[in-house]
A and B are shown apart, each in its own frame.
Chain A
C-alpha cells in the first residue's frame, strides 16, 4: 500500500509552493479554484509537478475531475498502488 501520509505531505508542499498559499489552507476538502485561488493554468502546472514528483502520468480527463486536494491525494495514491502492483507482477 502507498504511504498515504508521505503522499499527503508531498502533495501539500507542492500546492503550498505552486499556489503560494498557507499550509493550513491546504485541507483535504479545499477546492483548487474556489478555495486556493488557482486558475486553469495553475491546475495544469500543479498536475505537471505531481507527474514529475511521483513519476506518474495523469490524463486530462482525470485532471478535470480532480477538484479538491483530497481528490488529488486519493488519485495519486491509487496510481502509485497500481504502479507498484504492476512492478511486482513483472518481478
Chain B
C-alpha cells in the first residue's frame, strides 16, 4: 500500500474584529479583549440586535488594489488579505517553489456577497434593470473568494468554494487537506471569509431570534457562550486562511511547520433546517470520524475550540456532542469559545478558529471563554471561564463547527512530530 501523505500547516492569515494580523488577534484573544461594538446604523433604526464585530485593523491598501477595492464584495477583500498573510508567512512562491498547477485554493463564504445583493436589489427597484451593475454576479457568488485568490497568486490547481453555512471554513480546510492527501495538489490555501455585519443579515438573523438583543448597551459582554443567561449570537466579519502543504514538499523547501492536520470528519444531522439534533449525535459523529482518521483516542485531545455561538441551543447541544464523542474525557479537556470576543464570523469562523487552535498548540496556551459569569448546570464542562490558560503539554487540538442545514465539521490539529 502506498504510504499516506501527511498534511501540515505552513502559513496562516486572519482578518477579524480582534485584529487583522495573526499577532494582534492572538494578543487580544489571550488578553480577553472583545471586538464587539455598538453599530450606529443599526441603533438608529432600532434593530433588535444593534451590535456586531466589524473588521478591525485591516490595512486594505496593503492587500487589495484600489480598483479591486471598488470591484469586489468585502468578503473577497477579507479573503485576499488573509490569503496574502498565509502566503507571506509560508514564504511560498508559486511558479518558483511549486508549479502553479500543484497549488489550489478552497476558500469559501457561508453566504457570499450579500451586501452587493442588497445594494443591487435596491438599484433594480429604484433605477430599473438598466442600472444593475454588470459586476453584480461576480461580486455575489461565494466561490469568488477562491477565484480571486487564484488570479492574485496564479494558482491553477483545484479551486472552488464549498458552502455549509457556519461550518464552511472548517469543511474547506478538511476537504483541502484531503485534496492534498489524495495527491491532486501539494499545497492548498484553505479557509473562509464572511462580511456578516450588514443590514439584511442583521435583520434576518434577528427575525430568527438567533441574535442577542439584550446587550445593545453593553456590547463587549453580549457574546457569552455556555453562560446560563446566553440568548443569541453576535455577528462578526472577517476571514481565516491556512496554507496547507504536503509534508515532504514543505520539508524540501525548508518551510517552518506550524502544525499537522491529522484528522477530519464531516457529517449531517438530517434533522431540521436550523436547529441541531438535540442529543448532539451529529456533531459527535464528526468528532469520532476525525479522531479515527487521526488514529487518536479521545484522551489525546487537550483543547477544543468550540463552535460556542452563545445561542441557548447550540451550546447545550455542543456540550452533549463533546460528552458523546469524548466520553468521560470531555470533563477533563480544556474547551473555549473565542466567539465570546470575535462574535460569530459565520463561514469565516472555521478558518479563524483553526488559526486559534494552531496558535494554542504552538504557544502552549489557549484563550478563555469570556463573559462566562453564570454557570449553566447543563453546560458543565471546563470552558476556561474568563481567562486564558497555560496548556504546556498540549499536543492535539480539536476544532468543531456546526452549520444551519445540520452540517457538522471536525478537524484535529496536532503539534508536528516526526
A19 nearest CB neighbor, chain B only? B67
CB atoms of B70 and A52 under 8 A apart: no
CB atoms of A20 and B135 under 8 A apart: no
Judge whether B66 is part of the interface by a CB distance below 8 angstroms.
yes
B137 nearest CB neighbor, chain A only? A41
CB atoms of B134 and A18 under 8 A apart: no
CB atoms of B134 and A44 under 8 A apart: yes
**Which residues of chain A from 65 to 89 have a CB within 8 Å of any chain B CB?**
none
CB atoms of A18 and B70 under 8 A apart: yes
Judge whether B31 is part of the interface by a CB distance below 8 angstroms.
no
Q: A37-B67, A41-B135, A57-B130 are in contact. List 11 more A-B contacts (CB 8 A).
A: A20-B69, A20-B70, A41-B134, A41-B138, A45-B135, A48-B130, A48-B131, A48-B133, A51-B131, A52-B127, A52-B131
| A 27-55 binary contact with B (CB < 8 Å = 1; else 0) | 00000000001001100110010011000
Interface of A is mostly: helix
User: Whole-angstrom distance from the CB of A45 to the nearest CB of chain B?
Assistant: 6
In the bound assembly, the distance between CA atoms of A37 and B135 in angstroms comes to 16
Interface size classification for chain B: 10 to 19
A52: chain B residues within 8 A (beta carbon): 127, 131
A57: chain B residues within 8 A (beta carbon): 130
In the bound assembly, the distance between CA atoms of A44 and B137 in angstroms comes to 14
CB atoms of A45 and B133 under 8 A apart: yes
Judge whether B65 is part of the interface by a CB distance below 8 angstroms.
yes
A17: chain B residues within 8 A (beta carbon): 70
In the bound assembly, the distance between CA atoms of A40 and B138 in angstroms comes to 13
User: Whole-angstrom distance from the CB of B70 to the nearest CB of chain A?
Assistant: 7
CB atoms of A51 and B130 under 8 A apart: yes
B70: chain A residues within 8 A (beta carbon): 17-18, 20
Partner of A20, one of B66, B127, B133, B138: B66
B69 nearest CB neighbor, chain A only? A20
- Given A18-B70, A20-B65, A20-B67, A45 contacting B134 (CB threshold 8 A): yes
In the bound assembly, the distance between CA atoms of A41 and B127 in angstroms comes to 19
| B 62-80 binary contact with A (CB < 8 Å = 1; else 0) | 0001110110000000000
| B 131-143 binary contact with A (CB < 8 Å = 1; else 0) | 1011100100000
| B 118-134 binary contact with A (CB < 8 Å = 1; else 0) | 00000000010011011
B66: chain A residues within 8 A (beta carbon): 20
In the bound assembly, the distance between CA atoms of A57 and B129 in angstroms comes to 13
User: Whole-angstrom distance from the CB of A72 to the nearest CB of chain B?
Assistant: 17
A41: chain B residues within 8 A (beta carbon): 134-135, 138
User: Whole-angstrom distance from the CB of A32 to the nearest CB of chain B?
Assistant: 13
B65: chain A residues within 8 A (beta carbon): 20
In the bound assembly, the distance between CA atoms of A37 and B130 in angstroms comes to 24
In the bound assembly, the distance between CA atoms of A18 and B69 in angstroms comes to 11
Q: Which 7 A-B pairs have the closest CB atoms?
A: A20-B67, A20-B66, A44-B134, A41-B134, A41-B135, A45-B134, A48-B131
Interface centre among A41, A51, A57 (most CB of B within 10 A): A41
B138 nearest CB neighbor, chain A only? A41
A45: chain B residues within 8 A (beta carbon): 133-135
User: Whole-angstrom distance from the CB of B391 to the nearest CB of chain A?
Assistant: 47
User: Whole-angstrom distance from the CB of A80 to the nearest CB of chain B?
Assistant: 19
In the bound assembly, the distance between CA atoms of A54 and B69 in angstroms comes to 25
In the bound assembly, the distance between CA atoms of A55 and B343 in angstroms comes to 44
User: Whole-angstrom distance from the CB of A16 to the nearest CB of chain B?
Assistant: 10
User: Whole-angstrom distance from the CB of A22 to the nearest CB of chain B?
Assistant: 10
User: Whole-angstrom distance from the CB of A13 to the nearest CB of chain B?
Assistant: 14
B136 nearest CB neighbor, chain A only? A41
B66 nearest CB neighbor, chain A only? A20
Interface centre among A18, A40, A48 (most CB of B within 10 A): A48
B138: chain A residues within 8 A (beta carbon): 41
User: Whole-angstrom distance from the CB of B68 to the nearest CB of chain A?
Assistant: 8
A58 nearest CB neighbor, chain B only? B130
In the bound assembly, the distance between CA atoms of A37 and B127 in angstroms comes to 28
User: Whole-angstrom distance from the CB of A42 to the nearest CB of chain B?
Assistant: 8
A19: chain B residues within 8 A (beta carbon): 67
